[in-house]
Structure 1
Amino acid sequence: MIGLEKVQHKERGSLKKSKRWNMYLRIQELKHLGLNVSQIARHTGISRNTIYKYIDMSPDEFST
């Protein structure tokens, strides 16, 4: 990739990370409210497998 293509690719990567971070925060918020995995999945429209991936993850683990 050269020039503009490289910058656009980098921007998409940071947008994806931003969306994943927001999803992570939402899952943690709903967990804190006492919802179980199935309830969080229904509430957010995110698959249970993805909820399981993020539910016990610390912010440090997420960022690596």
Structure 2
Amino acid sequence: MLSAMEYPHWLMVAGAVLVVLGFIGFAFRQNRNAEPDEENPKQATPSEAIHAALEAEMKAKGK
């Protein structure tokens, strides 16, 4: 069966395999950094960054 497949069919099979591997890699990447490191600002969520910026602005104004 595999030897009877023509070139376009091999491309479709290869594409499907790459898509599956991409989803598996994406799932592992999501689970890698479950908790952001407080010392690394690149890992902070956007809402935490906004909250920190607003807090710094309040301190600068003296409120």
Q: TM-score range by the shorter chain?
A: 0.3 to 0.5
Larger radius of gyration: 2
TM-score, with structure 2 as normaliser? 0.46
TM-score, with structure 1 as normaliser? 0.45
